[in-house]
Amino acid sequence: MTEQATNAEGTTAVAAAATVPFVSVIVPVYNDPEGLRTTLDTLIDQTYPEEHYEILVVDNRSNDGTRAVAQEYAEAYERVTALDERRRQSSYAARTRALHCATGDVMAFIDADMTVDPDWLERVVETMDEEEIDYLACNVKLYSVGEESLAAKFNRLSGFPIEDYVSEFHYAPTCCLAVRREVVEDVGPFDVRFTSSGDREFGHRVYRAGWTLGYAADVHMYHPTRTTLKALVKKSIRIGRGKNQLRRIYPERYGSSARLIFNPAIYVPATPGQVRAALRNWDDLPLSEKLLFYALTYLLKLTNAYGAVRDAIEHRG
């Protein structure tokens, strides 16, 4: 945790400011009651002034005890609101539902099962104000719980190069995004038709509209790793679907779906250099793990391609 500047009474820098922005923290969730508890506990325990932020939990058709957890926190804490998105099962639909209800000057997004430091909101607001940033990506730290499986280690070493996403591809994953209200009013909310890549499409609208994008390397958010091969494959297929959705929904911006699924490059293995560049601490890995992670990289590339082809087939014509 980073030490905050204080005045003589010990008031934090944000609280001492003449105008404290109101922040809407948006948490989409699906079938994850314990992950939601973990996230809400860290959001309740923020140093940001209580009267200057709200927490909007949006349940996206959960069929377990998740909705009850959201309602429990809403009854216990005035700043927590429990919402439902029942019409469309999509994390972007859930986030857009919250945006329509949010009253904040800043919208901060976090996924259920993630955690943050107590000064997270303060750091977000200070960074956006001091650096005049309209669309901010925080630094996501992946961590493993208990004994680390090989799948979890691969996920930890390969996941979330946020700075590259912002600087090279002009978007931030929604799990670590904060954006000013004026930006959403200008470019519109997320496109609810996406199951993946909706964050990329939204970020591209923001970038083209001329708003300032930024990355805060020292503002951390914490995300547990995926621990099984099945979980990694499921995510890879979803990302592949999203890549085709970009082209299917916005061919004038991203090119035709055919150019993606008939491109041989999405089916061939990555080069050793590409795998080495994608995995942190590659040189420290034993040879057996290097070979295994190289094979896993190719498997995930193929499942990514499968997701794209599957989406194209399901929506042909």
pLDDT recorded at residue 202? 98
> Phi and psi dihedrals of 151, rounded to 5?
-65, -40
| pLDDT at position 89 | 80
Domain ranges of the chain: 13-224, 229-314
**88 phi, psi to nearest 5 deg:** -135, 130
- 104, two tokens: 């904040």
The set of residues, in sequence order, having a beta carbon less than 8 Å from that of 98 and lying 6+ positions away, is: 24, 26, 28, 56, 58, 83
Helices assigned H by DSSP within the chain: 13-16, 33-44, 66-76, 91-101, 120-130, 150-158, 162-169, 181-187, 198-208, 229-249, 251-254, 257-261, 272-278, 287-314
Tens digit of pLDDT per residue, the chain (317 long)?
333 344 333 445 554 455 899 999 999 999 999 999 999 999 999 999 999 999 999 999 899 999 999 999 999 999 999 999 888 888 999 999 999 999 999 999 999 999 999 999 999 999 999 999 999 999 999 999 889 999 999 999 998 899 999 999 999 999 999 999 999 999 999 999 999 999 999 999 999 999 999 999 999 999 999 999 999 999 999 999 999 999 999 999 999 999 999 999 999 999 999 999 999 999 999 999 999 999 999 999 999 999 999 999 999 86
Q: What is the pLDDT of residue 7?
A: 39
User: How many CB atoms sit inside 10 A of residue 6's CB?
Assistant: 12
121 alpha carbon, distance to own chain's centre: 16
- For residue 98, the SS3 value is helix
Q: What torsion, rounded to 10 degrees, do the Cα atoms 235, 208, 249, 231 define? A: 0
Structure tokens at 98: 């919250």
- Contacts for 42 with CB less than 8 Å, ≥ 6 apart: 115, 116, 117, 118, 120
The per-residue DSSP string of 143-196 comes to: E--SSPPHHHHHHHHHS--HHHHHHHHS---GGGEEEEHHHHHHH-S--TT-SS
What's the pTM value of the predicted model, to 2 decimals? 0.90
Name the token pair of 141. 């730290």
Nearest Cα to Cα of residue 109 among 169, 182, 57, 166: 57
CATH number 3.90.550.10 is the correct assignment for the domain at 13-224: yes
Give the pair of three-digit tokens for residue 57: 């939990």
Q: How far is CA 160 from CA 25, 45, 109, 255, in A?
A: 21, 25, 16, 26
Q: What angle do CA 212, 216, 222 make, to 5 degrees?
A: 130
Nearest alpha carbon to residue 67 among 29, 108, 113 = 29
